[in-house]
Structure 1
Amino acid sequence: MTPLTDDLRATLYDAENVWAEDDDFFLALANEHPVSRVLDLGCGTGRLTTALAAAGHIVMGVDPDEGAVTAARLKPHAEDVDWVLGTSSALDSGARFDLVLMTAHVVQAIADPGEWRRTLADLHRVLVPGGRLAFDSRDPAARAWERWNPQESHGMTELDDGTRVEGWYEVTAVTDGVVTLDEHAVLPDGTHDVQTGELAFRDEDRLRGDLRREGFTVDHVFGGWHREPVGRGDGELVVVAHR
């Protein structure tokens, strides 16, 4: 297996993940309070982060993937974002935010229970009293991982230069609510990249309990991007809480 370069992986990510209803939801949430101090934790290549800056918010984007942050710095309005390479542990002790966002199911990538608790504690620390935390996580009841197989997940993505990339997912284990999967990408020259990851599937009760233990009050849990009840939306758990 031949790994993709960081630049190509970021380009592929942006081609596969374009602006969608989830971005509309989180941007609208931020815009309920103009000129907010917003932390985009797990900002990736900065699609939403730069849109928040363009909307006039004071924005910090944090992500541990150096290639993704490098790509984010090249986007329009990136100069208006404070970019930090790292996780929530990299946040300055004096940092304060009115809103923290964790989008694109980034909370599921925090699969280790200890790291998840530390992340929530870090976010509680940097939010002002009454400050909000919002994130999305796939509802385990929808069993999305059952469709992550080479047949149902197979697809082709065309990059801006015309390169066509073949891709698919393959689940290798499901253990105690954690799904281990391989993400495959194959270029026309035969380059075959495989990224292995773990995603934690936490149900609504678990998320509510985890947030409560770290001092948060849950305001809403929606099942989709139009604020549907859980189980009647898009197979999502869209959580809005406050400190």
Structure 2
Amino acid sequence: MTLDPYGDEELVELYDVDNPAGDDHDYFREVADTLGATKVIDLGCGTGLLTRSLVKPGRVVIGIDPSPTMLNFARRQPGADAVTWIDGDASAIAATGDVELVVSSGNTMMHVSDDDLPSALKSCAGALRSGGVITFESRNPAVRAWESWTRQATYGERDTPAGHLREWVEVTEVDGGRVVFDAHNLFDDGHDAVYTTTVYFRTAEEITAALEAAGFGAVTIQGGWHNEPATRDSRLLIFHATKQ
């Protein structure tokens, strides 16, 4: 995962505005409740919007993220004291073998490189008890979403607490499933805060194979947050797998 994609304190405050709770958060909470999970890890928790909503009596919730800026913001939010926050990536997950559920929202797994994915999934497996579940989403490469990540298609302007902001995204490199893009945040004073991000588009078959190699089975794939079947045209692929 990117070390600190939100290193600007002013911009991180806009993250939850741009990425509000929605059907994805409902889905992850439902999985936790259906499992009766008493210990949950949110990998790539960011500002902790989902993480804090997973808290309930008798449940331990752990949020892990590699961005100190985002975690500092998360720790200041209402209800944050009920969560254990850990600064790091999947390698920071303790192999306790007592976790019922690992969730990873916001396409977090797409930020894990091909080289790091096997170890990241094994770290998740090490934390989970036998029968524990991992669930996450990833963009479907067949839809080729990156082709619309252009300045013309993504440009927008708005007034924010940080001032007037002009924003857009531009892809700078495509190499197979590896896509690099710059997110521009241009302030009125001429300062352009540019954040470069690399994401990895993977097929359902590739992710399933990686899960199985890490010790997961019973892999199911949905094409949406309401049990829609996964098809070639599904924008998202939502994975649910059980530790063997």
Task: Indicate the larger mover: 6-15 or 88-97.
Answer: 88-97
- Residue identity matched to 1:204: A
Query: Residue 121 of structure 1 aligns with which residue?
Result: 122
CA separation of 1:23 and 1:180: change in aligned 2, threshold 3 A: same
- Structure 2 unaligned spans of 5+: none
SS in 2 for 1:53: coil
Q: Does 1:136 align with 2:157?
A: no
Q: Distance in 2 between matches of 1:220 and 1:158?
A: 42
- The counterpart of 2:108, out of the listed 88, 106, 123, is 106
Alpha-carbon offset, residue 15 of structure 1: 2.1
Task: Indicate the larger mover: 37-46 or 18-27.
Answer: 18-27
- Structure 1 unaligned spans of 5+: none
Does structure 2 conserve the Cα–Cα contact (< 8 Å) formed by 1:208 and 1:218? no
Alpha-carbon offset, residue 173 of structure 1: 1.1
TM-score by length of 2: 0.91
Q: Does 1:182 align with 2:179?
A: no
Q: How does 1:2-151 map to 2 (within 5 A)?
A: 6-54=8-56, 57-94=59-96, 96-111=98-113, 113-151=114-152
Percent identical pairs in the alignment equals: 33
- Residue identity matched to 2:139: R
Q: Distance in 1 between matches of 2:25 and 2:233?
A: 16
Alpha-carbon offset, residue 167 of structure 1: 1.1
Alpha-carbon offset, residue 22 of structure 1: 1.2
Alpha-carbon offset, residue 35 of structure 1: 4.9
Query: Residue 165 of structure 2 aligns with which residue?
Result: 165
Tell me the alpha carbon deviations over residues 12-47 of structure 1, each in whole angstroms, 9 at most, x when there is no partner.
222211112111111111121335200000000101
Query: Residue 225 of structure 1 aligns with which residue?
Result: 225
Tell me the alpha carbon deviations over residues 169-202 of structure 1, each in whole angstroms, 9 at most, x when there is no partner.
1011110210011111112332211111110000
Does structure 2 conserve the Cα–Cα contact (< 8 Å) formed by 1:99 and 1:133? yes
Alpha-carbon offset, residue 96 of structure 1: 2.8
- Residue identity matched to 1:189: D
- Residue identity matched to 1:171: V
Alpha-carbon offset, residue 152 of structure 1: 0.9
Over the aligned positions, Cα root-mean-square deviation in angstroms equals 2.0
Q: Distance in 2 between matches of 1:132 and 1:27?
A: 13
